[in-house]
Amino acid sequence: MKGIKVSMLFLFSLLLVSCIQTQEIEKLAVINVLGIDHFEEDQIELTVAVFQFSAQSEEITKLMYGKGKTIKGAADDVESSSTFRLAPGKTRLSIFGKEMAEIGILPLLDTAVRDARLPDLMYLSVSKATAKEIISTGAEELTVDVGELLHGIIKNHSTNHNVPRRTVHDFLRIYHDIGHDNVLPLFEIQDNNPKLTAIAVFKGDEFVGEMTLQEALLLNLMDKTVKGENLDLSLPIEPFENHLEKREDRDQNKEVEISVLINKGKSKTKLVDFENQIFQTNTNMEVRLLEQSAGINLESPHVLKQIEKEIEKIMKSRFEKLLNKLQKLNADTFGYGRYYKSHEKGKDLTKDEWREKYPEIDVQFNVSIKILRHGVKD
């Protein structure tokens, strides 16, 4: 009898808990994506895409807006015109409008870190348009949830080594690491759809420029081991003129378009001359040749060696051009300051000191390509 009473009490407790959860959920607006824009003077505008669990509403996903001098103030403004209470615990992505990102996002990230309700794995991104436009356009033009879509785009690209993804804590860790600067995914609106088209480059916490998705691959090669990524290149046709299939309609002036799959790629960097600030970055890549447009006969080992040599030249040039762009922005995206800092004896390198030194550093790029095997079609 006692056991039956205990069982009934336990079941009754579960039913009560279930009722309380249902009532709370119906009063919540669960934030999926958060947009932050600069408004007038010292104000920000908040755009949130939320899930609402309401029996009276057919639309589960809804956009809400608010303004304030802080994120907390803007969020309070959002709630002031709603019967729902904002729940940020499931926020998967924050988008900063370009103007807001150019001013600097550190104060806003500090707010995010202090709010225990915000998830640690929330991604950060930037929009060429306003964040409000990106979120609103996505919600209007797409049949899927815009927050889920934008978060999925970043996750998919980062898995394929195109886009470095950053959470709040990732961004702050790199920001406080002297001699290293951040990047974030950069969205824009194309054909009335939000698309990830480039990478936002930061100097400290300020958005100062951008790099292409192709250039972002070089950054990933510096940061980690890259596997399974496709790479398209244009090689000069002259070195292969004696190894081409005979075709009546061949245009001898065209370049050779090739596609390779990176089986494994990784870079190592070292400081070779502290006084003159000379670094050396060695990149080794094992690739498979997938396609080529000119009908090159690949039976000769000499031809494969020549292809490797041409790819090495192109990749070396790409590294050099990207470093030159970043030095002009004074953004140490590759993180050469970390290597310099580790060799400086007797004092700590400051951010200002490295900002003065970085534009003048010299990097010797060496690229080694090995073609493992080929399966070619044209």
- Tell me, what's the pLDDT at 175? 94
- Tell me, what's the pLDDT at 322? 97
Name the amino acid, one letter, at 226: V
- Tell me, what's the pLDDT at 375? 54
Asked if 363 and 323 touch (Cβ cutoff 8 Å), the reply is: yes
- Tokens representing 264 are 């494994």
Task: Kindly report, residue by residue over 323-366, the tens digit of the pLDDT.
Answer: 999 999 999 999 999 999 988 765 788 999 999 999 999 999 99
Task: Provide the 3-class DSSP secondary structure of residue 285.
Answer: strand
- Which pTM value belongs to this model? 0.84
CA separation for the pair 147, 92 (Å, rounded): 7
Task: Kindly report, residue by residue over 110-145, the tens digit of the pLDDT.
Answer: 776 776 666 677 899 999 999 999 988 866 655 567
Stated as kind and residue range, the H or E segment containing 371 is: strand 362-377
Confidence of residue 173 (pLDDT cuts 50, 70, 90): very high
Alpha helix (H) ranges present in 203-288?
213-223
**Residue the block writes with tokens 């103030």:** 73
CA separation for the pair 263, 285 (Å, rounded): 7
What CATH number labels 225-377?
Answer: 3.30.300.210
> What are the extents of the domains in the chain?
28-221, 225-377
Q: Who wins on pLDDT, 17 or 286?
A: 286
The mean pLDDT of 89-99, rounded to a whole number, is 86
Pick the range with the lowest mean pLDDT from 41-45, 141-145, 168-172, 246-250. 246-250
Residue 230 has phi, psi (to 5 degrees) of -80, 145
- Tell me, what's the pLDDT at 158? 74
Inter-residue long-range contacts of 2-9, CB under 8 Å, 24+ positions, other chains counted: none
Rg (CA), the chain: 26
